[in-house]
Amino acid sequence: MRFLPLLWLGIMLTTVTEAQPTLHALLDEQADAVEAQVIEWRRDIHANPELSNREFRTAALVAAHLESLGMEVRTGVAHTGVIGLLRGATEGPVVALRADMDALPVTELADVPFASKVRSTYMGQEVGVMHACGHDTHVAMLLGAATALAAVQDRLSGSVLFIFQPAEEGPPEGEEGGAELMLKEGAFDDPKPDAVFGLHVWPEQVGTMSYRAGQVMASVDELYIKVVGRQTHGAVPWGGVDPIVVASQIVIGLQTIASRQLPVTATPSIITVGIIRGGVRNNIIPDEVEMRGTIRTFLPDVRSDIEARIRRTAESIAAASGASAEVNVINGYPVTVNDPALTQAMLPTLSRVAGDANVRRADLVTGAEDFSYFANEVPGLFLFLGITPPDMDPATAPRNHSPYFYVDEDALKLGVKTLTNLAVDFMIANR
């Protein structure tokens, strides 16, 4: 679907807002009415977190509620994903709203009465499980939005596709999952949405909503490097080739790619080595060392260029010491791009719902999101909802993935209102 010219779209949205205040008022009333239930859902899901591709309990809760609202419901999409379709009173645009369901292998340390006590197995190790990224709130807010929109179903000119997605944090090794697999299994096939919206809780002041047109979140690639030397006694290093020293030199060399080889004013990029494994004894220089890391970029050409530079750097440093380096880069999520026209068109909605003073332009985010796959299929808009309490400084508040991650639940109603109003205003402007 082609968007209306921005000038006419803005006029149309303003006119619609004035002509149909009842519909927006109804959405506000529904958000008020469902707020307590949203908080209850959030706490229940938070206390019962599930790892990627294992969101069985969460999926059952979601499916049962969507079915109770009279929606057409698909389950088992990409293992545990749930899709609900709400058809409006008349034909019109199809809007997709997405939430992710999975938790992380993190042992919760936040002091809340509904803190997770769940233990599970991750990569062969027993771990704590926690909603340390806020996906519990995403599910609860989208359930609230589904409830609110179902209540005004007879006023909708179009349809809403509710996507509850598993494995945003990445599927277990050897498995597929997440948004990419949902699309492979037909999530956008029938009906195909005209736009997709999503939001993520973020350590900004509660009540704020942040957006960015164009590139907003980085691509992510997994980096594996195996350095092969020659084993020898630690007291006689010249009797072999030390892969640990070579790996150390490679780590330093990789940091010069972003800082010395690429134009830093053009686009950010990050290469981080998070794992170095090698050796079994203090006085034995091992044969090989394994390194693992992550690569973050915002432009496709930079993404491929960095991969080539990593290979050249690692292989050359290893060769200079008589070792060898085997580099493997596994492409992960692409860059998350907010459609510029859609972003601009929805700004009046954000201002109306959150208030002008609370709508902010976001900086580039070097985290990654597989919402990017959905936004590559249709125009998308991904937003950040502030959840840091007023008495806490966002700069020092525990960030996503922290065991102390904390959500001010006063933000959840704004999330519900944002999702419902985006859906309705898009349908009105594009019917």
Give the model confidence (pLDDT) of 86-98 as tens digits.
999 999 999 999 9
Same domain, 359 and 317: no
> pTM higher than 0.75, yes or no?
yes
| Longest Cα–Cα distance in the chain | 84
Same domain, 125 and 205: yes
Same domain, 301 and 172: no
Q: Does the active-site annotation cover 409?
A: yes
Same domain, 321 and 407: no
pLDDT given at position 10: 52
Query: Of 331, 364, 384, which residue is a domain's last?
Result: 331
- Report the domain count for the chain: 2
CATH of the domain at 392: 3.40.630.10
3-state SS record for the chain: CCCCCHHHHHHHHHHHHHHCHHHHHHHHHHHHHHHHHHHHHHHHHHHCCCCCCCCHHHHHHHHHHHHHCCCEEEEEECCCEEEEEEECCEEEEEEEEEEECCCECCCCCCCCCCCCCCEEEECCEEEECECCCCHHHHHHHHHHHHHHHHHCHHHCEEEEEEEEECCCCCCCCCCCCHHHHHHHCCCCCCCCCCEEEEEEEEEEECCCEEECCEEEECEEEEEEEEEECECEECCCHHHCECHHHHHHHHHHHHHHHHHHHCCCCCCCCEEEEEEEECCCCCCEECCEEEEEEEEEECCHHHHHHHHHHHHHHHHHHHHHCCCEEEEEEEECCCCEEECHHHHHHHHHHHHHHHCHHHEEECCCECCCCCHHHHHHHCCEEEEEEEEECCCCCCCCCCCCCCCCCCCCCCHHHHHHHHHHHHHHHHHHHHC
Residue 24 lies in a domain: yes
CATH of the domain at 259: 3.30.70.360
Of 168, 204, 211, 333, which is the active-site residue?
333
Residue 45 lies in a domain: yes
**Whole-number mean pLDDT of the chain?**
95
Same domain, 381 and 323: no
Query: Of 280, 301, 331, which residue is a domain's last?
Result: 331
pLDDT given at position 264: 85
Residue 178 lies in a domain: yes
Same domain, 242 and 339: no
Same domain, 49 and 116: yes
Closest to 128 measured CA to CA, from 137, 136, 117: 117
pLDDT given at position 22: 86
Mean pLDDT, consecutive 10-residue segments, the chain of 431 residues?
A: 49 48 91 98 98 98 98 98 98 98 98 97 95 98 98 97 98 95 97 98 98 98 98 98 98 96 91 97 98 96 96 98 98 97 98 98 96 98 98 96 98 98 97 87
Same domain, 207 and 227: no
Residue 210 lies in a domain: yes
pLDDT given at position 19: 44
Residue 103 lies in a domain: yes
Q: Does the active-site annotation cover 168?
A: no
| Distance from C-alpha of 339 to C-alpha of 374, rounded to nearest angstrom | 12
Residue 1 lies in a domain: no
Range of the domain at 55: 6-217+335-430
Same domain, 164 and 281: no
Same domain, 287 and 249: yes
Residue 37 lies in a domain: yes
Residue 82 lies in a domain: yes
Same domain, 110 and 252: no
pLDDT given at position 16: 46
Query: Of 294, 316, 331, which residue is a domain's last?
Result: 331
Of 222, 290, 326, 409, which is the active-site residue?
409
Same domain, 308 and 176: no
